[in-house]
Structure 1
Amino acid sequence: MKTPTFCYLLLLFSGWASSLQAQEPDSLGMSLDQVVVTGTRAARAASQVSASISIIDRDQLDQSSHINVLPSIVPHVPGLLLNDRSTVGFGVGPGSGGNLSIRGISGTPNNRILVLIDGQPQFMGIFSHPIADAYHATDIERVEVIRGAASVLYGSNAMGGAINLITAKNNSPGWSGQAAATAGSFGTRTLSGKLSFQSGKWESVISLNHGATDGFRDDAPDGFSNTSVFYKLTHRLGDGLSLAGDVQLSDASYQHPGTVDAPLSDDQRDYRRGRVALGLTNEGDKASGAVLLYHNFGEHRFTTGFESVDFNQGLSLYQNLKLVPRQTLTLGVEHSRFGGEANNDRLPPPAAIGLDATHRVRQTEVYLQVQQAFWQKLHLNAGVREVYNSQFGNMTVPGFGLSFEVNPRSVLKASSSRAFRSPSVVDLFLFPPSNMELRPESLWNHELGFLRSFSGGKWDMELVLYYTKGDNLIQVDAEGGPPQNRNTGAFRNKGLESQVNFKPTGDLGFLFSYNFADVSENVLFAPRHYVKLQMNGQLGNFQLVPFVQQVFGLRNSLVSEAESETYSLLNLQVNYQITARLRAHVLGNNLLDSNYQLENGYPMPGINMAAGINYQFKPKNK
């Protein structure tokens, strides 16, 4: 396996850096003054939020040539591991990609990291995992990632963290848009386009995306195709009120190749996903908040015989009230239901599923969070969420934290919070191990963080120590009878996250992160050491964006005797600005041709290349 040392790659990058001169400042890194909304549900400077938050803005997303938004955020989030097992697309079901891991917390399926769109939870109604192929970069203006427990504000599934995708906006009058096309190895091709318009109080965005690949496996078909459309319409009603609605539809087909030891010749999975949302937001000096309605739905059909329809829908209402000086009181009420029906009569008993009834889980929640500032330096927050679930009953989820500005360039943070995951429909009702008596999974997350911005603005640093203890994990228990889902699992994760943003000049930037995770159990997608380095610099009209990942001690199998994976990855994107509006790019992935597997039996692609163009136009006054 080709795994040059990370030190060698650092030296290589340093050599490049000495000869680079950029025309525009890079957008790598973080800032204590950046305003976030995900950590508190109210706009607040990052230095005043006790949670560990990573922010990826539109400029950073534009640097990437990925059609999907998730690969674009990986360099910017310490410890975030994405199972991007294909050259494009993730697929669905066991053995597919798209699994997310933060601080060694993930799941199979991936239902312990919550994905939100504009603060609304996004997951499949039966298996409770997000559908990674539904999130396209053209649709997203900004991404905010909470690393660590986030259930006080966002409820179920936010055990390891929450990824909030904030949809696209158009704040300048007139028309703007972009179009992009790429082609690459293994018959991979993508097309995307976005058109925005703003006039007076009206604003609209529409996008169309298509991605496909013939697949890279020689032993089994592993092609993928996905076409998606997104539309958003916003009307500013005045006095801080805005009404926005959006709809997104995806039609995808995925060929599951099986493992290298047991390849599959005919396992095609067709699925259609959709989302409809409507939100009324208010912004004022004393009150701000929103009323949000959302409905997610999907239909899946596999050649293996599995068929399902599912839904996830809800109502969310919250208000941030400033009734006391230097205090913000957040009150929220949420009601949701998720479920669906599935069948697979081709399986022999007792594995066969033949269900006519639709299974539903209903959940009603109220939450409160108080944020209080003292002396312009100390910011305290405490919150609690009360959950009523139609299956397991009541649950209380508390959390508290603080942020202390030691000086204008240094911030100390500390927090302790509980998080949970409600049992999914598949846990409760489907397949023989199902158990209607399951309790929610839960954990406590404790962390201590330090942020420092050095004088001159050339260095930013973040360091976080965390300790997470989980219990009631849902696992299949075969002792004393037939296999059945039970709340028998527990774990203790502890570790360190660090990130350094270094800008030796205004023309060149490096973003470095290191994550150490000591996990008590043999869990998937939890590397013991995880290093990332991205550089951003320009030479004339050329922009160079190399990205290195070094992984040590990643478990890809639950078999205790299986060896862990250690590998190095080098990706390089080269952009060339042909005109002010037209840009060409070349992207090389896994240029070290490393041989590795994120999931046991599923090899990752070797060296692969792609090239494309991107055309953007904006109103003349921009």
Structure 2
Amino acid sequence: MLADMRRGLAGALVVVLFCATAIGEETPGKAEECVEIIEVVATPIVQGTLVSRYGDSVVIVGGEQISAQNASDLATALSRVPGVTFSRHNLVGAYGGGDGGAIYIRGHGSGRPGANIGTLVDGIPKFSGVWTHPLLDMLPIDAANAIEVYKSTQPVLLGNMSFGAVNMVPKRMTQEGSEGRVLFGFGSYNTLTGILEHGTKTGPYDWYFVGSHRNSDGHREDAGGIVDYFYGRAGYDINTIWHMSLQLHHSNSTVEDPEALGTPAFFWPERFITRDEKSILTFENKSEKTSGHIKFYHDKGLQNWEQWNDNGTPGDLTDDEPFASVTNYRNYGVRARQVFALSPRSEIVVGVDHDVSGGHFIEEHPSVGLLETDERVRNTAPYLLLSSAYGMDWDVIPSTGVRWNNNDTFGDEMGWQAGLRASRDNLTIHTHFAHSFNYPGVYTAVMFGGTGFGTLEPEIIDHLEIGFEYKSSQVVKYNLVFYRDEVDNGIKVVAPPPHYENVGT
């Protein structure tokens, strides 16, 4: 939805070497020598920062930026976006065990298991259904036409798990013709990269396919990784208003844990294995006064964390034993949204989300015993967002919206927001206030005997943001944002004995 921005923000450096003659007196009969004008175009760090009509700012990293950075995953693609950080241990793969493969936006996202950062593919959530946090190895970027980064909480349009969010917009063909590429690379530490993609649009039909493979031995012992990915999309124009499409995403990864420096090596390295299969069926419409979509999705995945249990003296491996934590999750649901133009300068967004997430977890220690859980949670959330533009010299857009969320395990919660954007010439002033929530997940049924499942309350955040944007030229734009986040009811581990509990601000 925001991926249509193009080269308007590209930086350009123009070096002009003018016609010159010899310094001093002109040499009779000697022709002037001209040096050709050279224009050097540089790709910016991000494609742009957009101040939405709802008063918040969204950072866009486009396909050109992803390619220019030679990005291999979400962490490298967003490595230069201010306020966004990642945890990773390997050159290929992020090793999702413990704190590996985590995303942090303005300090949020540190709760693992559980996370208040949302990761989405084409507006559909993508996360581990049991542990509720994102895993980088299940979020390949080879099919991303653009990446949208929401640094502010999004209580109305995104809802649960949205203290911040990252949405990957998949590639698709929108104009007649075909395109594609083949990429192959080999580097240090036996690092291998291969990408094959092709897209075509002919008449009412369009399709796009991407296949990629990456592997590396790693920069040190037991730091190897393999990540495979496939993306396919087929679309059909039903008529001039309606379009339907089916997306398929499949990923596999096997990533070793290099452990902390100085840690004695195990008999074989700990590994984190993932497999994920996601499908999205979309019906979208666009006419003069309304546009929207309804999306049905299904996401099935596996996480297998192969570990070692230290049963004796630290560093003594003779009595250690291997064990595995195996998660089979399944998320599915439907998300519908429609935007209506009430007037040339006013619009209302109405929508409803129904999401089911959870799955089966089993962990068996040869000398400790069996831990097993199979649970799911259901969320149903209608929402409404209204905005209208006023003014002549200043273009002023106030907005307000609300979402009501019903969770069958953790109760009801309300999220709301209000915003204001005022623009004149090259200056934009914006403010955004939001009250949002983050529900506990199925992980509370797994950890600490399951005492928190059904008894914990959602985390609450109150967010205030004030920002200024000034565009001094076609290639230079300044953004300054002040924000304050206050979180209440944080879900923390307290002891003794260890258990989950809602704590204060």
| CA contact 1:475–1:489 (8 Å) conserved in 2 | no
1:541-596 CA-partner distances (Å, limit 9, x unpaired):
xxxxxxxxxxxxxxxxxxxxxxxxxxxxxxxxxxxxxxxxxxxxxxxxxxxxxxxx
Comparing 367-376 and 265-274, the one that deviates more? 265-274
Q: 1:86 to 1:22 in 2, by over 3 A?
A: farther
Q: Distance in 1 between matches of 2:46 and 2:254?
A: 36
Paired letter, 1:285: E
Q: CA deviation at 1:90?
A: 0.9
SS at match of 2:98: coil
Aligned: 1:332 with 2:351: yes
Q: Which residue matches 2:452?
A: 435
Q: CA deviation at 1:59?
A: 2.0
Comparing 371-380 and 168-177, the one that deviates more? 168-177
| CA contact 1:149–1:419 (8 Å) conserved in 2 | yes
Q: CA deviation at 1:26?
A: 3.3
Paired letter, 2:69: S
Aligned: 1:214 with 2:214: no
Q: Distance in 2 between matches of 1:123 and 1:90?
A: 15
Aligned: 1:366 with 2:382: yes
Of 385, 390, 411, which residue of structure 1 is paired with 2:403?
Answer: 385
Q: Which residue matches 1:545?
A: none
Paired letter, 2:456: L
Q: Distance in 2 between matches of 1:124 and 1:93?
A: 12
Structure with the bigger RCO (C-alpha within 8 Å, sep 6+) is 1
Equivalent pairs counted in the alignment come to 450
Of 272, 276, 280, which residue of structure 1 is paired with 2:275?
Answer: 272
| CA contact 1:29–1:460 (8 Å) conserved in 2 | no
Of 101, 121, 140, which residue of structure 2 is paired with 1:136?
Answer: 140
| CA contact 2:89–2:258 (8 Å) conserved in 1 | no
- After TM superposition, the structure 1 = structure 2 runs for residues 542-553 of structure 1, keeping only pairs within 5 Å, are none
| CA contact 1:474–1:489 (8 Å) conserved in 2 | no
Q: Which residue matches 2:422?
A: 404
Q: Which residue matches 1:306?
A: 325
Aligned: 1:413 with 2:430: yes
SS at match of 1:457: coil
Q: Which has the larger radius of gyration?
A: 2
Paired letter, 1:215: G
Q: Which residue matches 1:71?
A: 76
| CA contact 2:419–2:430 (8 Å) conserved in 1 | yes
Q: Which residue matches 1:318?
A: 337
Q: CA deviation at 1:239?
A: 2.4
Q: Distance in 2 between matches of 1:413 and 1:471?
A: 25
SS at match of 2:209: strand
Of 480, 483, 486, which residue of structure 1 is paired with 2:501?
Answer: 486
Q: Which residue matches 1:229?
A: 230
Q: Distance in 2 between matches of 1:80 and 1:477?
A: 28
| CA contact 1:181–1:192 (8 Å) conserved in 2 | yes
| CA contact 2:397–2:422 (8 Å) conserved in 1 | yes
TM-score by length of 1: 0.69
Aligned: 1:353 with 2:354: no
Q: Which residue matches 2:128?
A: 124
- After TM superposition, the structure 1 = structure 2 runs for residues 128-207 of structure 1, keeping only pairs within 5 Å, are 128-159=132-163, 161-207=164-210
Q: 1:386 to 1:347 in 2, by over 3 A?
A: farther
- Structure 2, unmatched stretches of 5+, are 1-14, 18-36, 307-322
Q: CA deviation at 1:243?
A: 0.5
Q: Distance in 2 between matches of 1:231 and 1:112?
A: 29
Of 282, 304, 307, which residue of structure 1 is paired with 2:285?
Answer: 282
Q: CA deviation at 1:264?
A: 4.8
| CA contact 1:422–1:439 (8 Å) conserved in 2 | yes
- After TM superposition, the structure 1 = structure 2 runs for residues 523-542 of structure 1, keeping only pairs within 5 Å, are none
| CA contact 1:299–1:309 (8 Å) conserved in 2 | yes
Q: Distance in 2 between matches of 1:52 and 1:155?
A: 17
Moved over 6 A (4+): 17-20
Q: CA deviation at 1:174?
A: 2.8
Q: 1:347 to 1:127 in 2, by over 3 A?
A: farther
- After TM superposition, the structure 1 = structure 2 runs for residues 502-521 of structure 1, keeping only pairs within 5 Å, are none
Q: Distance in 1 between matches of 2:407 and 2:281?
A: 24
Q: 1:186 to 1:433 in 2, by over 3 A?
A: farther
Q: 1:347 to 1:438 in 2, by over 3 A?
A: farther
Comparing 316-325 and 366-375, the one that deviates more? 316-325
SS at match of 1:329: strand
Q: Distance in 2 between matches of 1:224 and 1:489?
A: 40
Identity %: 23
Q: Distance in 2 between matches of 1:176 and 1:55?
A: 23
Of 459, 480, 483, which residue of structure 2 is paired with 1:466?
Answer: 483
Aligned: 1:342 with 2:357: no
| CA contact 1:311–1:338 (8 Å) conserved in 2 | yes
1:312-342 CA-partner distances (Å, limit 9, x unpaired):
1111111111124421111111111100011
| CA contact 1:443–1:471 (8 Å) conserved in 2 | yes
TM-score by length of 2: 0.84
Q: Which residue matches 1:423?
A: 440
Q: Distance in 1 between matches of 2:229 and 2:46?
A: 31
